[in-house]
Amino acid sequence: MDTERLTLPDGGFWEIKTVITRGMRKQINQASLKALGSNASGLMDGNGVKERILEHPETIDVNAVDDAMLLVGSVAYSYGPTIDIATIDNLPEAVTQPVLDRLHELYAGMSKQENASFFGKP
């Protein structure tokens, strides 16, 4: 497994996976659909998603994909023995944001390709 250790502003570390697996991609994709709420039916095109967000913004879990990326992309960190959302949510943004930025950078090709395919674009 290819990993990278990030040194964070508070002196801690966060080790992440640098290569995304099929299973990780599936979990992130599932989080994308979960982000749209429990009633994601009929959202198989970009317009349906846009309408849903505009009509019911309160039902959108805007953090679902970032949470999934943090969970599936993390190997270890200096904030405890278990990597879970409860611990991550209690960390300052100055700690979590650099990790999210790097995960997005590493997995960006996957996201763009998957989203294009999901929304029917070539």
pLDDT in tens, 28-52: 888 887 776 655 555 555 566 667 6
What pTM does this model have?
0.72
- In a 10 Å sphere around its CB, with 0-12 CB exposed, 13-18 middle and 19+ buried, how is residue 117 labelled? exposed
**Which distant-in-sequence residues (6+ apart) come within 8 Å of 88 by Cβ?**
67, 70, 79, 96
